[in-house]
Structure 1
């Protein structure tokens, strides 16, 4: 992690410069708030994202994250100019322990992340979309990787895409820089839900409410195991998963879930585990 649990114990009381955050009924909403630059990611914004998602990772009261964006564009990718010139702004969060790599950051959240796509997604914005658990997009949203038109290549995006679609499909998106409609993006697995603009927030709310019925501890164990499986040899995976199940059985949520099942009542989740 780029921040320790102690560093990210709470979000700054004075707020963040490029993000808006709000916590309501176990759902932390993180909104990219640089609409005048089409939410292009500069160093300060990347650090704020890393801090906010680390806070979400450690905070027991946060069961899931909704990632949204202000303005008419979800994310224009990396702000290449600011990345090249560096960042002279006064920091709103501590300096991270290393470079912020969005693919790794999203993978280390270990909690469901619902991304609200209300407009175009370009380049590095794919790292946020591709690393989310659910992506709810409006019918008018578009997705494109224009890097090859600029003599660049979306290396990190390719790694994320290879986890969710066939290699040739991922390579084609990187090589031809085609613009996908929301429907196209759903077909290749980049988007999970396509809805009208009017139904966007209701769909996200319904999805979050459905997830709240499930054990937050179980979901965290499962998402963490999913990431850890990637680095394990195939002959070690079943033993690892068996051990994870044994550990999960000892948590308060697992005990509450079994009691509720036997007593034919709705469980009351705590989300706390050792």
Structure 2
């Protein structure tokens, strides 16, 4: 798909219901390749959602035959200067960091293929559910472009030997393998994908938004800490969490055997 075609239609579609925002990559003819335009549109949506108290969960999905085929190679070859390439990879890195730093949990809803930066999105998302015929890969080595930036997320999601095999051979893996490696949470028949993701998102959306925000931020921060430091940090997080209205409400509701009423405070 050309840049001109990109400008004729929304590159990211958004729909909201019951505290769940669904963001859909919308370049189906290009397997939702991450053009600069698409990344900018997705970044804008994530930035808006970050401060939207009505949104408790985000679902990322793609239109057409595949989730995301990675970067737009036609766009990358149309501009060969290093400055443009720096712009592309900086935009992509910012996008991945935004997914991780977003207060709301992000679920990748994957079908067809998720390759290179598309696989990176799956690995970056907090959770991922895929149709059981989905294929995943970091095939850059096949075209002379090692998947160095996708490697950052994928190597943090699956074991070292498995990710090195993906990176060095460029071969695709199926959904069952991705599940065994820990790249995705579930693999379901494609006909059940919508229901499986909706069920997962609904369960998460029923929780306190304050607790979701607190827990997600603490999870990623403590991962990079030494063990003793991680315990000291998370102990402080627990103390702060205990002072929240939602913690008091949740504990009281548990003791009183009733459903909690969250305020997000």
In the superposition, the TM-score normalised over structure 1's length comes to 0.84
| Residue in 2 that maps onto 1:154 | 147
8 A contact 1:103–1:156 mirrored in 2: no
After superposition, give the CA deviation of every residue in 1:12-66 in whole Å (9 maximum; x if it has no partner).
xxxx820000111100000001101110011111111112122222211111101
Find the residue that maps to 2:121 and give its secondary structure.
helix
Matching residue within 183, 186, 190 for 1:197: 190
What does residue 99 of structure 2 align with? 106
* Counterpart position of 2:178: 185
SS at match of 1:256: helix
1:119 to 108, 112, 118: 112
Q: Distance in 2 between matches of 1:41 and 1:248?
A: 38
CA contact (8 A) 1:76 1:121 kept: yes
Task: Tell me the alpha carbon deviations over residues 77-107 of structure 1, each in whole angstroms, 9 at most, x when there is no partner.
Answer: 0113324556xxxxxxxxxxx7341432221
Structure 1 position 191, deviation (Å): 1.5
Does residue 1:128 correspond to 2:98, yes or no? no
> In 2, distance between residues paired with 1:229 and 1:261?
28
Unmatched segments (≥5 aa) in structure 1: 1-15, 87-97
Deviation readout 1:122-161 (Å, 9 max, x if unpaired): 1110121001122111121111221001111111221212
Note the 1:180-259 alignment, pairs <5 A. Answer: 180-259=173-252
Partner of 1:94: none
Q: CA RMSD in A?
A: 1.9
Aligned counterpart for 2:57 among listed residues 54, 64, 76: 64
Per the alignment, residue 3 of structure 2 pairs with none
2-side partners of 1:143 and 1:36: how far apart? 19
Q: Pick from 43, 49, 58 the counterpart of residue 42 of structure 2.
A: 49
Deviation, structure 1 residue 256: 1.6
Structure 1 residue 226: Cα displacement: 1.5
2:6 equivalent in structure 1:
none
CA–CA separation in structure 2 for the residues paired with 1:150 and 1:84:
13
Maintained 8 Å contact 1:32/1:68:
yes
Structure 1: distance between partners of 2:77 and 2:104: 32
Q: Would you tell me which structure has more helix in proportion to its own residues? A: 2
Please report how far the alpha carbon of residue 240 of structure 1 lies from its aligned counterpart in structure 2 after TM superposition: 1.1
Match of 1:27 in 2: 20
The question of 1:268 aligning with 2:261 is answered: yes
Aligned length: 247
Task: Please give the secondary structure, in 2, of the residue aligned with 1:156.
Answer: helix
Distance in 2 separating the partners of 1:83 and 1:257? 51
The 8 Å contact of residues 139 and 166 in structure 2, kept in 1 or not, is answered as no
